[in-house]
Structure formats: C-alpha cells, structure tokens
A and B are shown apart, each in its own frame.
Chain A
Amino acid sequence: MVTKSDRLVNGVLYAVLALFALSTLFPLYFVFVMSVTPYTEVLRNGGFILWPSSFTLQAYKEIFGSSRIPDALQITVFITVVGTFLNLLVTALLAYPLSKKSTPWRNGILLAIIFTLLFNGGLIPTYLVVRELGLYNTVWAMIVPGMVSTFNFLIMKTYFESLPQEVEEAARVDGCGDIATLVRIVLPLSAPILATVGLFYGIGHWNEYFKGIMYVTDRSLAPIQIVLRNMIQTPSISQELAVNSTDLAQLPPETVKMATVAVAILPIIIVYPFLQKYFIKGVMIGAIKG
C-alpha cells in the first residue's frame, strides 16, 4: 500500500515538524539553561548560553528559600483545579441545551451571549459587581468572574451539535431524561472536547494575573503570575525621564528571573502530554454506534 511518493511525503513531514519543534524548543531550553548557570557566567555571555560550563541550583534555592513563590504556586494550583472543574460544569450545562434546536428561546439566548463577546462595560462596573457579591479580596474573585468563556462555550456547543443524534434518541427511548442523557451519553462521548476546553480553561487560570491585581488586595492570595510579572517587568516608557531610578540596580539577577519563569511554565507544559491521549480516541464514537 505504501507507495514511493507516500514515503517521500512522510519524510518531508517528519523533517519539517522536527525542525520546527527544534526552533520552538530553543527558547525553553534557553530559559532553563540560564536558570541553572552561575550569574557571572550569564553576564559574561550576555544572555545566550548554549551549554552551561558549570551548573548551579542557586537560583532555585533562592526562589524556594522564601515562602513567596511556593505560596503563590499553591494559590494558582487551587484556582486552576477548582476553577476548571466549575468552568467545565457550568459551560457544559449551558452548552448542551443550546446545542438543541428545540430549546425555547435558543437563538435569542445565543445572540445575547455572543453580544457579550463584543460589548463590555469595562473595569469599573465589573469591579462593583464583584464587590457587591462579596467576592472582593477572596480567592473566588479570581474564579467566578470568568465562569464561562464565550469562546469555550461556543466550541463545546459546536461539538455537541456534531454528535450523532441517533445515540441520544436511543437513550431517550430507553427513558433517559435530559440530564441523564447529558451525563450518561453525551459527556462520555465528549472526552476530546472536554479535554480541550478544560485545557483552555486551565491555562486561563494558570495565567491568571489581572483579576488577581484588581479584585484581590491580600498579598497572601497573589497567584504566581503576579510574582513573575513583578520580577520581569521592565520600566515603562512613561519613566523615560525618571533618572533617579535607584531601583534598577536592585532588580533580581537574570538567573532568578529565568528560574521563576521555569517554575511558572513547567507544570502547565507537563500536563499537556497527559491530556493528549484524549485527542487520539476518535474511534470511540464509532465503537459505541457499532
């Protein structure tokens, strides 16, 4: 079956993908190498180090020496796990009814939801809502205001629409109600999309920064991205005239910055391969049908 041209196409495919992957590996490698190289070595090379001449975990010791980053990681893990679970729950409960043409007011509701993609009232009124609901300065302020992402909702709805109707109808004939159909039939068939949307939500929480700044004052509730951003931000253009920036000399050394970056992105990258198995389960629908 495998023809000569097929083999050629395969060769090109593998080569192109490998090259591209190498190019994207480079910065991650660069961040990692810098985080384990002694600071003077980094200075001498002005940034780019292909192979560290000596190895040190000093930067990581510094990071985990204070409770700042471990505490922040804990907060981030909490909002990621709890937040993603709630996101998936609420989104699925909204997307399933709206994927059915028979649901009353479906088009109106859909339009109203899509409308929010375009128009929003801005920061001040949203802050007022967060405060009036008693969420201000709690960890929930970083979860509840982003409960449903319209983008993820639409992806899920589109997926539900593409599921074969016969399976669901069979379930209903067997006496399953709406909720039972969703839980017992639809969701098990939706592993790829739940993994995808869950990943998107999880990444959103992992990268949470803005809500942490605006809706939370308590320093002990700050997620990892706030700590990271405080570390790597560069002075903005507005400070071009600030000559007495005594601070610059006191910024943390590059190695500590890079170690923080590594700590902040490694967990979310490691999660991905474990989710990939759900993307290769395309056979499932067929199996159930057959």
Chain B
Amino acid sequence: MNEAITPIKQPANAVETSATATGFRKSLRRLYRSKWMMIMMIPGLLYYLLFHYVPMVGILIAFQDYNLLKGIWGSPWVGWDNFRTVFNSPDFPLILRNTLIISVYRIVFNMLPDVILALMLNEIRSRWFKRVVQTITYGPHFLSWIIVYGIVFSLFAPGSGLFTTFVRDMGWGDLNLLTDANYFRPLLIASDLWKNVGFGAIIYLAALASINQELYEAAVVDGAGRWRQMWHITLPGIRSVFVLLLILRMGSILDAGFDQVYIFLNARVYDVGDIIDTWVFRQGLEQLNFSIAAATGVFKSVIGLVFILGANKLAKKVGGSGIW
C-alpha cells in the first residue's frame, strides 16, 4: 500500500486540463494512483455486470414473438408489433392517464409527509416519546396490503363497515367510499401515507442525525429562533437526500404501485384506478404472452429514463448537484 506519491488528492478537473498533451499516460497514471479504489469496486461492479447487464438481453423479447423453446436468440423478430398491440388496446389512453395521475399524487402526497414527520420528530425533545412514536409509526409498513385492505374494508364497507354504519346511524346518509370514483385515489394515497410514512421518515432522520450540531449552537448564539434554525440548517441538511429520492422517483413515474392498486381496485372505479401494471397482469391471466409484458416494461423504462435525465439536469441547474 504505497501511497507516498499521492499526498493530497487534487480536484479531478485540474488533472484533466493539464493532461491534454500526454492524455493517455496521464490517465494511466491516474488509474494507477486509484488502484485501490478500483479494486474496491470489483465485487459491486461484478454484481451489476452479472445480475443486471447480462440479463439485459431479455429486453430483446419486446421486439420478438418470444418462443420459449427457441429462446432469445431464435425467436422471430416482429419489430414494433408488440408496442403497437399495447398502444392500440382500447384501454391504453385511460390506463396511461391513471398511472400518471396516481404516480404524481404519490410523489406529492407521500414524499412530503415523510419529510414533515421527520421534521416533527426532530423537534421533539423527549427521547422516550420520540422513540416510541418512531417505532409505532414504522410498524404498519410490515403489514401486507391484503391485511391493510381488510382493515379498510371493515371500516368502509358499504353495508357493514364500522364507519359507514356510524354515519348511517347518525342520519348522514349512505357512504360508499370504496366504490366512489371521487374517493378512490385519495383513499389509495391516504392509506399509503398511513402505512408507510413512518418508514419513509427513517431516511430523513438519518440525514438529520448527520447535521453538525455546532451549527445549531452557533445559531442559538446568533439569536435565531426555531423557524429560522429549521429554514437555514435543518432543511439544507436533508436537501440532498430529498433531491436524490425525488429524482429516483421520477424514474419510476409509470409505476403507480401495483401491489396496492391491485388489491384496492374494483370494477366501479376502473375509470380512475386501472393502471398499466394491472392491465398487464390481466393480460397474463388469460394468455401467456411474454412479449407484450416485455414491451410494456420497455415503454415504462424509456419514459422513466427521459424523466430521470430531465430531473437530474434540472436539479443540477437549480441546486448545483444531481445524482451524477
């Protein structure tokens, strides 16, 4: 481990500008200097190569009439036919719209509450109270959607639901939350928030924990109140994590949460709740068609790629740093 030649790392661009003349040798030297860094990465890179890049040949299935026997290298090519089938499905405009709307709802109404809960917990001085609240709110994340739906159903079922019965007994009329197209999306979002906000706050709590406490002390000396501390120290401290999560979420803009939607969906709210993934699932029930599923996947990925690139660019422009 002879590191005597590298006293202090220089910023990368400084090296590059001086390297234009003998670029190749310089970069070789740079590689040599970083050899331990490179070696460290080997297990991780190997993993990505083997479990992500090698299987990526599977994307070709989207452009084939995939035949299980002939495999990826032998199945006939059909160009854009599978995509055409997907786009020409009578439901496609509807499911695309629903997917986008539900996804955007989730970004807005599920990401912000995570931050808010973390900020609230951060303001709590009582250690035991903070710990108890943190642990309890984290609990529902581990209940499956089937169980959560069971609870929602026993509260809001049109006939026997506890809450419905209460409303009816009070003479406020009949309540049909589960089958009302106006309430379906809010119900999805609210139950998701309720189930996952405690879990979602963890990452911000970790970010808050890494803020230098001296900053707060200095602020108090300067006479900054609670709100100014939050604005000038706390929020900047979790900014990078928030931006990171936001950009990543953009990449899965066409994932609207199959597990939950599949359980909550019913025929009376198809118009507002049917999404791309439930559609693909239904296709698979009736007939095995790998290519249709693959084509839908590629479509979702391409849209995700556009969004993630755009979001990263925007983040760099506005805030100075993106993910890469």
- Where the two chains meet, the residues of A that have a C-beta atom closer than 8 Å to any C-beta of B are 6, 9-10, 13-14, 16-18, 20-21, 23-25, 27-28, 30-31, 46-48, 89-91, 93-94, 96-98, 100-104, 106-107, 109-126, 128-129, 133, 144-145, 147-148, 151, 153-155, 158-159, 161-162, 169, 172-173, 175-180, 182, 192-193, 195-196, 199, 203, 207, 228-229, 232-234, 236-238, 261, 264-265, 268-269, 272-273, 276, 278-283, 285-286, 290
Contacts and interface: CB of A to CB of B under 8 A. Distances in A.
Interface in B263-312: 285, 290, 293-294, 297-298, 301, 304-305, 308
Nearest to A110: B324
Given A117-B251, A272-B138, A273-B134, 7 more contacts: A17-B124, A28-B140, A111-B324, A123-B58, A148-B47, A179-B1, A279-B202
Contact of A102 (B9, B43, B127): B9
A2 B34 CA distance: 53
A265 B143 contact: yes
A112 B8 CA distance: 28
A190 to B, nearest CB: 8
Given A97-B41, A232-B144, A279-B209, A24 B52 contact: no
A82 to B, nearest CB: 15
A196 B51 contact: no
B147 interface: yes
Interface of B: 1, 3-4, 6-12, 15, 27, 30-31, 34, 36-38, 40-41, 43-45, 47-48, 50-59, 61, 72, 117, 120-121, 123-124, 127, 129, 131-140, 142-144, 146-148, 150-151, 154, 160, 162, 194, 198, 202-203, 205-214, 226, 240-241, 244, 248, 251-252, 285, 290, 293-294, 297-298, 301, 304-305, 308, 323-324
A286 B215 CA distance: 9
Contact of B40 (A97, A133, A147, A153): A97
B213 A282 contact: yes
Nearest to B1: A177
Contacts of B31: 104
A160 to B, nearest CB: 11
A91 B38 contact: no
B122 to A, nearest CB: 10
Contact of A13 (B7, B10, B43, B123): B123
Given A9-B226, A177-B1, A148 B56 contact: no
